[in-house]
Structure formats: structure tokens, C-alpha cells
Amino acid sequence: MTLTKPARVRFAPSPTGRLHLGGARTALYDYLIARQSGGQFVLRIEDTDRKRFLPGAEQEFMDALHWLGLQWDEGPDIGGPYGPYRQSERKEIYLQYAQQLVESGHAYPCFCTPERLEKLRSEQQARKQQPRYDGHCRNIPPEEAAARVAAGEPHVIRFKMPRDGSVTCHDLIRGDITYRNDQLDDSILVKSDGWALYHLAAMVDDHLMKITHVLRGAEWLPTFPLHVHVYRAFGWEQPEWVHLSLFLKPSGKGKMSKRDAAELMKDGRSVYITDLRGLGYIPEAVNNWAALMGWSYDDHTEFFTLADLVEKFDIRRLNPSPAAINFSKLDHFNGLHIRHLDQEDLLRRVKPFFEQAGYHPDDATLRKMMPILQPRLKTLDDAPVVAGFFFREEVEPDPQRLVPKKVTPPQALEAAKRLYEVLSALPEVTLESGEQPVRALAEEMGLKAGALFGILREAVTGQAVSPPIFETMEIIGKETVLKRLQHAIEILETMQN
RNA sequence: GCCCCCAUCGUCUAGGGGACCAGGACGUAGCCCUUUCAAGGCUAAGACCGGAGUUCGAAUCUCCGUGGGGGCACCA
């Protein structure tokens, strides 16, 4: 716990895509700060760009956040004292504040056409200059500009950036950053269609919603001075600005593109939260993993539950340098958190993955499987591949593997038959009742125990690797074990000819 | 081209002048355990980008390079 005053933080996604790792980590930190300080976590939808709006995206974001366990206190679905929480429902508010800026001389209407701007930009680029607005409409007398606006002439509202001096902006993890004003642009605040841009809308909302800490990606650093200028123009007190380090692709070369993201999916990995869920990752692991990219607690503690994070997260320990995404570490955390799950909990989570793979698991069997399954799972969707044979009607042993190295087919057949005899003589097959007789059999036949276990494993599971075979047989039951062994014997018999 | 950020093992990081011949984790390799596979335990290899300063002393502070990254929209 590092914050003593209640913090109001907001996660403000744009419904143009899906929640990805970077956003999830920002939301996580937001959540942690709000919870540990007894403040509020606000969800705000930044949907002022009507062209890029994606139907369903808002719901997708909320689903993903819910899955991660990051419940918000105020948002479009539940309302709150500072609503509405959808920017598309706040259009008039932004216009009103834009007008205020025009009247105070901090902004001005610009009548330049997109065509002129495009031409200007390409000329500047040709001259290897920094592309920016040339101030064409900056000095139109206010009365004249107002008249043109009143006459309905198409226009945007631009911020009137000071031409000299500099701004020093304070970032919580980087300290002061100074920008020269003459390097800054007269950015557009309101588009010609009347919709405010981020530079205005987000500042107005953060102020109106009494946000105390703005956490956002480091890609906002270049426009940081603009935002500080906007705050100053309004005479508002600034929030604490926190620019989170960027996530780089696993190679460390650049940030993730849509294309890279699609490419990742081929390896069973993804930066999209709802994909991670489908891939068998659990939210505990995703949160733990994401929390540690850009933040650390000390020099050795790495396992954290959400509750641990609420308690231990310290905004002052954020790291400014970019981090390459490391999926093998996610696998590690996933295994770790799966092993920490209560067995009933694991059962509930793993069941859908069996069903999805086409099995019809019953809870009683599942429950018996948990102890042997739990330490073997990296992801939940590993479950049907390592343990699907529990629910298969029949298992198809591989004839080659039924005959281990240094064992002849006739020996293997003999072994299978004797195994059948030994096991059928048992009241039931368990580790306690079965292991010694089987080992004795191996010795009697002059086979290595491992070879005999191998034959048994292949016959019963149809796999070369499986959970320990006696525990497995105990769960499957003597009857099924014998049936499968009989099937293996038949396969071995046909091999003899 | 311009502006901004960053810089410790392959990766995520601890380190905020002497406690560092730099600690942890993932991954990799080996060993132990072992009926296979995991899990678990142990061990190993592996880093302070370079150069100047400041200082008795620098991974830690300053500057300059270099490298990497981000941004330069009527997107967010």
C-alpha cells in the first residue's frame, strides 16, 4: 500500500479493437491503485471516432476485464456519479469546453481543407521537415472567424500552441520532461464533424471525472506537452501522469502489430485477453505475468495473487524501459497458478476444455483425476491431450509402441497376456495392489520393469506418455483396463503373423 | 528529417556511490527423484553498450557518443 489518499483512476479503451496485453496491464495497475487506496476504478469508453467504431467491442472489453477479475466501480453499464461514461454521449460537453478555449484565446477555428493540409504535409516531408500545421488560420481575427463559423463554413478547432518557451511535464516514473513549444503543433481538438478528439475529450473527462492518476502507454509521451497545455489553458489542476513502458514483440524488435498478433496465434499464443482464455491460460497467471512486466516487488518474490498485488503493488517501483513479451514465462506462471488452485476449482475450469475436445467428462472421474492432472498442466487445454483417454470409449494403442525396445513381439504378446492374468486376479487395480505383482512379473519374465510398464501404458492409455500408470488404472477401473488389455493382446496377436 | 523516451544475463528484472569478483525468475544444459511425462530438489553457463568526467571509490551521479524504441492524422 503506497497511496494513502483515495485515487480515482480510469481505464479508457477505444472500442476499435480488443483488449490486449498492454491494455490489460494498464487496467490491472489502475485497478490495483484504486483498490489499495480505497478509491474508484472507472471504465470509460472513448468512442468519439465514429468511423473506426466496432460494434461489440465495448462488450468484448468488459468481458475480458471481468475475466481478469478487474471489476470497475463506475462505467457505461453500471453508471456512476460522473456519467455518462461513453464519450459518444458527451459530445456537447466537449463542444462547450472547446468554445471556452476559443473565447479565452487558447484555441481557434481553422478553415483549411483536408486537401490543403495533405499538400502541406507532403511538401514538408519532401523538404525533410517535421510535418506540422503552418498556422494559416491562426491569426484570423476572432470576429471574422466567428462570423465564418456562424455562416456555416466547415472548420475544425485547433489548439493555439505558444510559439516560444517550453513546457516541463512531470511524469511519475520519468520525472520532469521538458519540451520546446516551437516543436509542438497546433493540434486539432474538434473535427469538422463536431466530434472532439482525444486531446480534448480525454482531458475534459479526466478533469470532470476527478481522475487523480492517469495511467497510459508511453506512446502518449509525444503528445504529453499538448495535454499539459490544455490543462493549463483551462486552469485545471493536473492529475499525476504515469506513462507505462511499452510492450515489445517477443523478439524485442518493435511493438506488436496486428499482423504480428495474428502470426502469434499459430503458435498457440496471443496478446489478446479473450484468446488467452480460450488457449487455456487462467486469469491469475495472466495478471501475475502482466504485473511483472514493468514492475517488481523486490529481488526475488514473483508469485502474486490479485489480492497480493493489491497489497504489494507500488506505483513508485514502475520501470520506464520497454519490455519484450515473454510467453514462456506466461506458461510458467500458468502452471504455477494451476498448481495453486483448489482441486474443485481446477475441475470446474478444466471441464469445458474436455467438453470442447469432444469428451463427456463426469465429475466423479474428473475429481479423481485432479491430483495426477494438476502438476502436469501448463495450460487448461493441455488437459484433453494428456488425459483424454480417460473418457474415450476405446483406446487405439500403437502396435510399434506396444513392443518396447529390446523386447520381441512374441515377448510383448506374452507379457500382455500375463499382465491380463495378473491384473484380473486382483480384486481391484490400485497402486498398492498392482505394483508389486507387476514388478514380480517383469522379473519372472526377465523384462525390465520399465518395459513392462510401457506395454501396460500403451495398452491402457494408447499413449507413450501418461500419468503414472497405476494411479491411472485405479481411476479407469479394472473392467476397462482388462478390456483395453484384451484389445492390445489382439493387436499383438495379429502382429505375430 | 524533427521531437521524445529507454539502456544490467537470450528474456523479465533486483540494484538508487563502498554491503556486487552484480542477486532472483523464465528459458537452456547437467544431476537427483522416478514406471513414461510432469511436478519437485540441486548445480552450471550467462549481463552492468562505449568514452570522458565527478569521487578516495561508480552498475549506481553528469556529459557526449552509440544502440534500441515511440511519435510526428479531422485515430486513440
Q: How confident is the model at residue A393 (pLDDT cuts 50, 70, 90)?
A: confident
Residue A467 Cβ < 7 Å to strand B: yes
Q: How confident is the model at residue A385 (pLDDT cuts 50, 70, 90)?
A: very high
Mean pLDDT estimate for chain A: 95
Q: Tens of pLDDT along A336-357?
A: 999 999 999 999 999 999 999 9
Q: Are A203 and A227 in contact (CB under 8 A)?
A: yes
Greater confidence (A130 vs A363) lies with A363
DSSP A377: -
Judgement on whether residues A95 and A149 belong to the same structural domain of the protein: yes
Q: Tens of pLDDT along A229-273?
A: 999 999 999 999 999 999 999 999 999 999 999 999 988 899 999
- Would you state the pLDDT for residue A1? 47
Which nucleotide is closest, CA of A375 to its C1'?
B39
Q: Tens of pLDDT along A45-78?
A: 999 999 999 999 999 999 999 999 999 999 999 9
Residue A61 Cβ < 7 Å to strand B: no
Dist CA A126 CA A128 (whole Å): 5
Dist CA A229 CA A467 (whole Å): 63
Q: Tens of pLDDT along A447-484?
A: 999 999 999 999 999 999 999 999 999 999 999 999 99
Give me the A residues in range 75-114 that sit within 7 A (CB) of strand B.
Answer: 112-114
3-state SS track over A84-149: CCEHHHCHHHHHHHHHHHHHCCCEEEECCCHHHHHHHHHHHHHCCCCCCCCCCCCCCCHHHHHHHH
Of the candidates A3, A15, A42, A1, the one whose C-alpha atom is nearest the C-alpha of residue A211 is: A42
Distance set, CA A7 to CA A35, A39, A250 (Å): 9, 5, 33
Task: Please name the residue that has the C-alpha cell 492432472.
Answer: A373
* Complex confidence, ipTM: 0.96
Query: Is A195 a member of any domain?
Result: yes
Domain count, chain A: 4
Catalytic residue among A5, A253, A258, A406: A258
Å separating the CA of residue A374 from the C1' of nucleotide B7: 41
Q: Average of pLDDT values for A177-184?
A: 95
Å separating the CA of residue A347 from the C1' of nucleotide B18: 54
Judgement on whether residues A152 and A178 belong to the same structural domain of the protein: yes
Of the candidates A68, A74, A85, A83, the one whose C-alpha atom is nearest the C-alpha of residue A41 is: A74
Three-class SS state of A334: helix
Judgement on whether residues A226 and A132 belong to the same structural domain of the protein: yes
List the domain range (segments joined by +) for residue A432: 409-496
CATH of the domain at A124: 3.90.800.10
Q: Average of pLDDT values for A80-109?
A: 97
Dist CA A256 CA A259 (whole Å): 8
Judgement on whether residues A149 and A240 belong to the same structural domain of the protein: yes
What cell numbers appear for A370 in the block? 485432479
Write out which nucleotides of chain B lie closer than 7 A to a protein Cβ.
1-8, 10-16, 23-27, 35-40, 68-76
Query: Does residue A497 register a pLDDT over 80?
Result: no
Judgement on whether residues A323 and A419 belong to the same structural domain of the protein: no
Q: Which of A244, A269, A288 is the last residue of a domain?
A: A244
Whether A258 sits among the annotated catalytic residues: the reply is yes
Query: Is A108 a member of any domain?
Result: yes
% of chain A residues with pLDDT over 90: 91
Å separating the CA of residue A354 from the C1' of nucleotide B12: 33
Judgement on whether residues A460 and A333 belong to the same structural domain of the protein: no
